[in-house]
Structure formats: structure tokens, C-alpha cells
Structure 1
Amino acid sequence: MTPPSLAPSMQQRVDRALHSPTIEFMLIGLILASVLLVFIEVGLPFGSGGHGVVVGLQRWLTGAFWLELGLRGWAARNKQRFLKHYWWDILAVIPFPTQIVVLRLLRLLRLLRVGILLNRNLGRIYPALAIGLGAQIGLVAILGVLLLGGGLGIFLAEGGINDDIENLPQALWWSLFTLVAAEPIGAEPVTLVGRILTLMVMLGGLTLFAVITGLVSAVMVQRLRSTMEYRTMALDELRNHTVICGWNRNGRHIVEELLFDGGLQDSPILIIAEFEETPERSLRHLNLSHIYFHVADYTRIDVLKSINIAQSARAILLADTTRPRSDQDIDARTVLAALTIEKINPAIYTCAQLLDRRNDVQLKAAGVDDVIVADEVTSHMIATSARTQGSVEVMAELLTVQVGNQFYKVPILPSWVDLSFWQAVDRLKRSHDALLVAVELSYPNRHTLVNPPANYRLGPKDQLIVIARKRPELRDY
């Protein structure tokens, strides 16, 4: 259970809710409904009964969009970054007078947000498909804004004036042909507004053709490359991600284990270090759709904020060997990064790798959850294998999620409070074929009791450490 001082604030809870798939798909639906209402509004006579109903619905949607953007702005940690990313959304929902319908076409700008939200959620549902379709979805969104904006705009500007623009379908066909040909096809504009719209659609067509050419070229080059190039994204959009600070030869195995874990396979992994060459070549056998690289010094507070460490779920600090440094300097950088991360996000789980056990004191004082000295662990495993011949196979199975049984930590049910350790062992084995081996206590300080006495009584905040083939889902029957 998270201590009250580390519980997420109201702003953090609102931010997480706004970035949840449910809310984002609802927002996509509302934006598409708003675009449809713009079509209907343009096609209905001004002042008619139907027109009034459509305007009323648009006002309700505008209120919903203002509420959404207001909550995003309030929850945003960096207000300038919020304005940078959402300025066109704000422009799109400004409540212009109903008489100036041309300005209300700015609502079409929110189709760009639809493209961004679809890309993000496609990456959650089907990462491999998201890699191939991400650019195409964004392209379709831009194309939709240009095509619909040009067609509706020319109809409002020249409908009833230009004999070649008699109805909305003709205007949309004109917009499509002008966009593709980069010159007015089917009708010559006769008004100033019409000429300005024509120029914008033509420039959009020229730009779009260049973008499509570049996209096709990039896809062809990428298919010919022997290794996959890592994806890039706005790092401040990452949520609930795992940050790996530093890199060494252990990094590849750590990433493998995280990706094979069923509970973490959809969680993004950000690897940050002062790379001379990012390690995607050594990770090419893995699905890279959830892996991001950032070349920077992870001991700097501005760098950690830029990768949204405040919204990260866990941080792993490796003994960094990307640059030639002494063991003492490597551990000093690990300690400095851990202190900074815990200061920015006290609720984060942190695990640090040290080369010298004597530096453990600073990490524990900083609030780091787990500290691992690689040489010690290796030495203990070798000595244990020598003492109990064959036990290394047991440890090897328990320490990987790729085969057999693994360790899992699960919270106890309220009805299990005050059960004896032996009763909990019996219940877990009978109901989930899981073996209870330890109990983690969180009060007054987090520590673990391995194989406690049979009559030990479970407390309300205890966590159970079990060995099982899959994570046990405890429930009252």
C-alpha cells in the first residue's frame, strides 16, 4: 500500500485518467461527432429549426472540449509544453459567433488530435501494427483537414455565387481534385476568400505530395536496412513507463525479462545513457515497438524531467559503461541519479546496480528500494551451487520469466488478515498451486521475512512473496 505522503496527487490522478484508453476513445468519438455536426450545420439553412438543434449540440460539445482542455491544462506539470502541444485544439474550440460559419470550420483541426490518439492507442493494442501505420494515420488526419476544410470553405465562400459550386458534394470533389493536382480543377474561384482557400489547398497538395514521397522513400530504405531503427516520440507523453538509466552488457537481458513479463509487456521502456551508438542492434530479436532510446546525461535534473520521470512507474539504474570511467565514478553517478529521481518522484520504484557495496548507504538513505551488487550475487550463486549441487538450476528458473516458475508479489485479501503463515501456505497451494515463501512487511520500514514461523500472523499491509507459474489473482469466494 502506498503511504499517504507518496499517494498520487489529484492532478496526477486527473492526468492519468485523461490519458486512459477509455477517455481517449470517448474523445475520439466526440471529435468525430463534432466534425459531422459541422457538415450538417453548413448544409442546413441558417435560422431553420434543424440548424438551431445542430448549433445547440455543438455548444454542448464545445463545453465538453473546454472541460477536457481545462483539466489537461490544470493537470499539466509544464504549462508551456501544454500550450505548445494543444494550441490548435484550443483554437479549434473557440466559440465563434454562429453567423461566421467559416471560422467554425476550425473545429476540423481537432482531426489532428484524432490521429495522435489513434496512434497512441494502436501502439497499446497492437504495437507491431502501430510501427507500420503510425505515419499513415497522421497523414490521413492531415489529408482530412485539408480536404474537408477546403471543400466546406469553398462552398460557404462561393456557393450560390459560382455556377460551378452548386452544392456541397461538388465543393468536396473540387477540394479533392485541387488537392491532388495542386491547381484548381472544376471551378475557378471568383471571391477573395475563395482564392485564398484555393491557394491554401494547392499549397497543402504540394506539401502533401512531398510528404508522401518522403514517406514512401523512408519505408523503402527501412526495408533494405539490416537492422531496425528505433522509434522516436515525444518523451513527455510517456506514462507508467520503465526508465533504464545507464547501459552495460546486462542491459539486454534486463530488457528481455521486462518484455516477457505478462504484466509489463505493454509498459514502455525508455533507455537513457550517453551512447555513442544506441544498442538496438543487440535488441533486434525483440519487439522494439515499446522501447525508446534517449542519448543524454541521466544525472541531470532537466534531462530526467524531459523524459517525464515524474510519471514513470519504475527506474533501473545500471552501472553505466557507455563511457570509460572508474568504478568509483560509475557508482557516484548511480547515487547522484538515484537521489535526483527520488526527489522528483518519491513514489517511484527504484532498483540500482552498484559495483561497490560500500556505496549502499547513500542509496538506502535516498529511498532506493533495492540495491544489487552484481559481483556479490554471482559469487553467492556459485557458492550455493557448490554447497548444494544442482541448486543453480532451481535459481535459474526462478530468476527468469521465460520458463517455468517465477517469483510474484501479491497483496493479501482483507479476509486473510490475522491468518497464520501456515494457513496462507495451505490456501495458496490449494487454490492457485502457488508456494508462499516469504512475507514483505511495510511498517515501520520495508523488510522481508523469508520462511517466517508457521504461527506468524499476517498483517493488513503485508505482501506475499510466492513461487508460481503465473501471477495468482487472489479473491474471496
Structure 2
Amino acid sequence: MRRRLKQLYLFLLRENLLYLLAVVFALVLCSSILISLLEADISFADGIWWSNVTMTTVGYGDIAPHSQGGRIVAAVIMFCGIGLLGTLSASFAALLISRKMKENKGMLPSSATGHVIICSWNERAKAILKELRADAQTADSPVVLVAEIEEKPVDDPNLFFIRGAADEEALRKANLPEAKTVIVLGDDQADPAARDAKTVLTVLTIESINRDVYTVVELMSKANEQHCRWANANEIIVSSELSSHLLASAALNHGISGIVADLLSRQRGHELHSMSAPAELAGKTYLEVLVAMKTSRNATVIGVMQRGGGFVSNPAADYRVAENDLLAVISDERIRT
């Protein structure tokens, strides 16, 4: 509490509002004392009420001065009070407008916690943000964008913008130590080699600040994948390789790209996602889990992600699902256990 009061005091002092508030307080106090001395039927408590009502031009009329001196006090507080309150209101309005402008320009640090950080802004980042907002888990969650652009690119109340390159200063302003996930996108303005080098450097910076954050990285060349692994990235997506696989699959299996797009998007159709294996299914065979999930939750299990291991797609019928395994499922909505 003392810390908050100190912060409030320093804020008022820094914004030159403390002096203005002191003048308003002094005017109310002095006018209350004078009106209670000049008017026999007005107490000091009533004088405070009258001063506030008169200064704000509300004018209830329940208390009114009758003596000449009291009317002079009333005239002074009317003229001075209107000016002071107008100045105070204008100062607060200017402060709010200035803060909003600074937020849109990415000049203020973020206090978000458990949030997602997106490094760089491009069409892929725009699509990522739409997908995050389409998912119930992240529809209203804070997302912090760190990018070298002029101002906040979209009107999203839960998107916070930090202007600058994804270096240590900008990432700390994005409150990286309290973040849950970081998505590192390549810089479209750089050539492919420099782009991946910059991405790896960003990952190293992220890991040096918060080793517990989950890092998803986009690379252009598979040759740089190992560098990202050495930097402790959690998931690496080589965009050129992924596109090549999808193009080849589409050539061999017509229409497959539409199916993949439908499964990966949360904005239409069913979605592909991971979930913890339900406790009652631990130790069961894949076939038993497949039937149980389809029967009880209308979800299709297509594979098992082993904790600390790899992904087993379409396991054998007698494969045993361990307690800590993750299930890759297709369902109409995200399943929570």
C-alpha cells in the first residue's frame, strides 16, 4: 500500500498535477473556513459541502450565503474554482491522450503476465494474431508485439505494442520474464542468410532472459535449424521445407492442402490440437483410447506425443498410452482435461 501511494505521489509530482491539486484543496479549505465564520447558520462541514458544490457549478441551492462577505467569498470561489477545475480536467485529459499516443507508438513498457510475445510484424504475424483470437483459450489473453514499425498495427484492446528490434531492452519492456510463449518470426526485409542469423540471435537473447518461456521459431533454411536447437528453441518451423512438403503432397494427393489448412485453422471446421491424456485412459491401448475419445468426446486421436520424446502418428493398436503422454486429436473445439 505504501509503495502504491509513493508511486501515486511521484506520478502526480512528475506530471505537475500535485501543485494544482494543492491549490484546489487550499481554495476549498479556505472558502469553507471563511463561509462558516461569515454565516452563522453554516458549519464548517456544511462549508466544505457548499464549497465543492459551488466550485463545480452544481448549485443545489440547499446552502446559500446571505451576508455581504459570504457572497464575496462565493463570487471568488465561482470564478477561481471554474478555472482551476477546468485546468485540472484539461491536464488529466491531456495526460490520458498522451499515454494513449505513447501506447500506440510502442513507447510504454507492458505489465502483462502469462502472455504471448510476437517478434516482428508481417502478414504471417497478422494471421497468427487472428488464430489466437479465434481460440477460446487466447481470445482475450494479452499479446505483446515487438516490431520495428511506427505504431500499433491493429485495433485490438488486448494487443500491446513495443516499438523496436527484438533485443534485450525491447524484450524486457515486453515483460519477457513473465511471458508464457514467444513466437519469433523472420524479418522479411533481410536476405535469407541474415534473416535466419538475426532469428537465432533473438532466440539466444530470449533464452538468456527467461529459459522457461516456450519459444516457437520460424526459419527460412533447414541448415540453420541446428543453430536454433543449440539456442534452446522449443519448436522450430522451417517455412520453406513445410511449404515444399505441402506442395508435393498436394501434387500427389489432390485437395490435401485444403484439409491441412482446415485442421490448422481455428476459424473454420474442426481443429487439430494437443491435450493431456485423460487420467482414466492412462495405461490403455491406443485402440481403447481411440474408441473412448470418439465415443465420449467425438474426438479422433491421430497420434501420441511422448513427454520428452517424439511423436508417434497412428500408433499400433496395442500401443500403451502413458500417463504423461499428450494426445494429438481432431475435434470441433478444444478439449480441456
**Equivalent residue in structure 2 for 1:392, among 251, 257, 269:** 257
CA deviation string 1:145-180 (max 9, x = no partner): 969x94997399839963455153541341243256
Aligned to 1:459: 322
Instruction: Please give the alpha-carbon distance, in whole angstroms, between the structure 1 residues aligned to 2:202 and 2:85.
Output: 48
1:348 Cα offset (Å):
1.3
**Equivalent residue in structure 2 for 1:412, among 256, 277, 285:** 277
Aligned to 2:236: 371
Instruction: Please give the alpha-carbon distance, in whole angstroms, between the structure 2 residues aligned to 1:86 and 1:174.
Output: 27
CA deviation string 1:54-112 (max 9, x = no partner): xxxxxxxxxxx4xxx6xxxxxxxxxxxxx6x65246x79xxxxxxxxxxxxxxxx9xx9
Alignment of 1:26-425 (within 5 A): 65=1, 87-88=6-7, 150=25, 154=29, 158=33, 162-164=37-39, 166-178=43-55, 205-211=85-91, 230=104, 234-275=108-149, 277-278=150-151, 280=153, 283=154, 288-299=156-167, 301-321=168-188, 324-425=189-290
Is 2:336 the counterpart of 1:473? yes
> In angstroms, what is the RMSD of aligned CA positions?
3.9
Alignment check: 8 A CA contact 2:147 2:162 kept: yes
Instruction: Please give the alpha-carbon distance, in whole angstroms, between the structure 2 residues aligned to 1:449 and 1:360.
Output: 22
1:469 Cα offset (Å):
0.6
User: Alignment length, in residue pairs?
Assistant: 311
Judged with a 3 Å threshold, the aligned counterparts in structure 2 of structure 1 residues 369 and 346 are, in CA distance, closer, same or farther, namely same
Unmatched tracts of structure 2, length 5 or more = 71-76
Judged with a 3 Å threshold, the aligned counterparts in structure 2 of structure 1 residues 345 and 203 are, in CA distance, closer, same or farther, namely farther
Instruction: Please give the alpha-carbon distance, in whole angstroms, between the structure 1 residues aligned to 2:286 and 2:26.
Output: 72
1:366 Cα offset (Å):
2.2
Alignment check: 8 A CA contact 2:36 2:47 kept: no
1:201 Cα offset (Å):
7.0
Alignment check: 8 A CA contact 1:338 1:366 kept: yes
User: Which protein, 1 or 2, shows the higher relative CO under an 8 Å CA cutoff with sep ≥ 6?
Assistant: 2
1:326 Cα offset (Å):
2.2
1:391 Cα offset (Å):
1.7
User: Which residue type is aligned with residue 332 of structure 2?
Assistant: R
Q: 4+ residue stretches of structure 1 with deviation over 6 A?
A: 185-189, 200-203
Q: Rg larger in 1 or in 2?
A: 2
SS at match of 2:237: strand
Instruction: Please give the alpha-carbon distance, in whole angstroms, between the structure 2 residues aligned to 1:232 and 1:178.
Output: 39
Judged with a 3 Å threshold, the aligned counterparts in structure 2 of structure 1 residues 332 and 169 are, in CA distance, closer, same or farther, namely farther
Instruction: Please give the alpha-carbon distance, in whole angstroms, between the structure 2 residues aligned to 1:398 and 1:458.
Output: 23
CA deviation string 1:235-278 (max 9, x = no partner): 33111221111223322211111111111011122221222x44
Instruction: Please give the alpha-carbon distance, in whole angstroms, between the structure 2 residues aligned to 1:436 and 1:178.
Output: 70
CA deviation string 1:97-152 (max 9, x = no partner): xxxxxxxxxxxx9xx9xxxxxxxxxxxxxxxxxxxxxxxxxxxxx9xx969x9499
Alignment check: 8 A CA contact 1:150 1:172 kept: no
SS at match of 1:210: helix
1:233 Cα offset (Å):
8.3
Is 2:291 the counterpart of 1:426? yes
User: Which residue type is aligned with residue 428 of structure 1?
Assistant: M
CA deviation string 1:419-474 (max 9, x = no partner): 111111111101110011121112xx342221222212122221111110101233
1:214 Cα offset (Å):
5.3
Task: Judging by fraction of residues, say which structure has more helix.
Answer: 1
1:211 Cα offset (Å):
3.9
Instruction: Please give the alpha-carbon distance, in whole angstroms, between the structure 1 residues aligned to 2:114 and 2:230.
Output: 25
Judged with a 3 Å threshold, the aligned counterparts in structure 2 of structure 1 residues 366 and 266 are, in CA distance, closer, same or farther, namely same
Alignment check: 8 A CA contact 1:231 1:292 kept: no
State percent identity of aligned pairs: 25
Unmatched tracts of structure 1, length 5 or more = 1-64, 70-82, 93-108, 113-141, 190-196, 223-228
1:343 Cα offset (Å):
2.2
User: Which residue type is aligned with residue 87 of structure 1?
Assistant: K
